[in-house]
Structure 1
Amino acid sequence: MTVPSHIDRSALVRQLRAAGCVFAEDEAELLLDAADSPEALAGLVERRIAGEPLEYLLGWAEFCGLRIAVDPGVFVPRRRTALLVEVAAELAGPSPAVADLCCGSGATTLALARRLAPRWLAAADIDPASVACARRNLAGLAAPVFEGDLFAPLPQQWRGRLDLVVANAPYVPTAAVALMPQEARLHEVPVALDGGPDGLSVLRRVAAGAAHWLAPGGHLVVEASERQIDALSAAFTAAGLVPRVRHDEELDATAVTGRRPA
């Protein structure tokens, strides 16, 4: 449903732009589409100007051409993570067994389900709200979502048999979380943002676990920042994985892969 046509779209755009919304025109149209009355629109605009993420107001985010449900507090899928999906799909091989760790809303899991024909696909997250959101997004797929820390909740029969592990784990250094945009640091669950003193605490644990959960020849694919490449590659090597780096200038994204030697 949309609000009446007499709503002043130009005034709405100016209001959003004054609040710092870079894509004010696009946001105005999305908010107009989401509201079913002028009163509802006013409420959405007020919340957006106060800094609430647009995706929470809409109830969804666009990711890899898909509409992903996003609940308040759940990590909002970023455009840059499309590189992780692309690289993972290239490395997966036929009928892979795939685990998506730190899955958040399940956006990456769903995108991979659309690109692959996995013989087994599962997701996991430590945050209960994220698990509930991911289960809703993955409903209808044979893709269970487990609640727990990294590999811990996965079925033990898949240990040493996974062909692909992906993880959009937190990689922001603790001290830098306070410098993130307000809509992230004040609204998204902290466990999805804080990667420890150098941003790599969780990713080191992912690498160490992947060395035991991947099948020989299997791949780990994670997202990181460019300045973390050397340290993360060293962590992969220390875990027994062979690292490679892929960067996409347009997406401003960096994916690091680790192959378990055959």
Structure 2
Amino acid sequence: MGPVSPAQRDAVTGRLRDAGCVWAEDETRLLVEAATGPEMLAALVDRRVAGEPLEYLLGWAEFCGERIAVDPGVFVPRTRTALLVAAAVAVTGPAATVVELCCGSGALTRALARRLVTPRLLAAVDLDPAAVACARRNLAALSVPVFAGDLFDPLPVAWRGGLDLVVANAPYVPTAELTLLPTESRRYEAPVALDGGSDGLAVLRRIAVAALSWLAPGGHLVLEIGAGQVDEVRAVLTDAGLEATVVRDEVLGATAMTARCPADVAGRRNEN
């Protein structure tokens, strides 16, 4: 749009600040850049003041230095999830076979594609049709397939037992605590991307149990979890036959678990 006067910018910033936007000045700049004219700017500001996530208004979110397209309803990638990228890279060697579960926009796969050395395979999975469509847009240029389905179910059977890395920012918020989430999440993001069941571990537990069959010996599962879930998730992973390690980043306020598939996995699979 055309030039916006300092008075107009101040008015927008004031409205955003009054609505509780912590980074009101930055949001003003982004909304001004996104608007094609005064009417569109006013409409965007009204929607933001009403609580709609900024990323939906812009059509993208920044994650690990990249702009990731985000459609309405699709889980917005969080800054803290950069820990998953770092943790995954730390445990994954060259020419890895990598699958992202509960991929949402595909942000993790996009970031991993830039950081891993010549991955042999990249793929992503999500249950939500809106997320699958969004991820396919974000990953099209990388020719990464995005499967629609429940966790490992839609993956080719030939991949079973051969994955070097499975990474997932699966829902881990206990159902009773969903009301404590920010309004932006509660009202606008798909519940399937947030609700982790009664104890928050329903999806994580299913991933852990199935991972032993899909990981190659020495392969890793990497999960984002809540800071207070470490002991419970460690127990889930250990019971599933995986060797779990906690990873924290105090700056990001993030917690993750990496879980290694043991070298003697063939024997354990036979036991199961």
TM-score normalised to structure 2 length? 0.95
Secondary structure of the residue that 1:140 maps to in structure 2?
A: helix
1:42-57 superposed matches below 5 A: 42-57=42-57
Letter in 1 for 2:3: P
Q: CA deviation at 1:8?
A: 1.4
Q: Which residue number corresponds to residue 172 of structure 2?
A: 171
Structure 2: how far apart are the matches of 1:204 and 1:102?
A: 14
Root-mean-square deviation (CA, aligned residues, Å) is 0.8
Q: CA deviation at 1:92?
A: 1.0
1:107-122 superposed matches below 5 A: 107-116=107-116, 117-122=118-123
Work out whether 1:152 is the aligned partner of 2:153: yes
Q: How many residues align?
A: 261
Q: Is the 8 A contact 1:100 1:123 kept in 2?
A: yes
Q: Which residue number corresponds to residue 36 of structure 1?
A: 36
Work out whether 1:68 is the aligned partner of 2:68: yes
Q: Give per-residue Cα distances to partners, 1:134-181, cap 9 Å, x unaligned.
A: 000001213100000000011111000000000100000000101111
Q: Which residue number corresponds to residue 241 of structure 2?
A: 240
Of Structure 1 and Structure 2, which has the larger fraction of its residues in helix?
Answer: 2
Structure 1: how far apart are the matches of 2:218 and 2:58?
A: 41
Q: Give per-residue Cα distances to partners, 1:179-236, cap 9 Å, x unaligned.
A: 1111101100000000001111100101111111000000000000111000000000
Query: What percentage of residue pairs aligned between the two structures are identical?
Result: 66
TM-score normalised to structure 1 length? 0.98
Secondary structure of the residue that 2:180 maps to in structure 1?
A: coil
Work out whether 1:126 is the aligned partner of 2:127: yes
Letter in 2 for 1:39: E
Structure 1 unpaired stretches of 5+: none
Structure 2: how far apart are the matches of 1:259 and 1:188?
A: 32
Q: Which residue number corresponds to residue 92 of structure 1?
A: 92
Q: CA deviation at 1:3?
A: 3.8
Q: Which residue number corresponds to residue 4 of structure 1?
A: 3
Q: Which residue number corresponds to residue 15 of structure 1?
A: 15
Runs of 4+ in 1 over 6 A off after TM superposition: none
Letter in 2 for 1:258: A
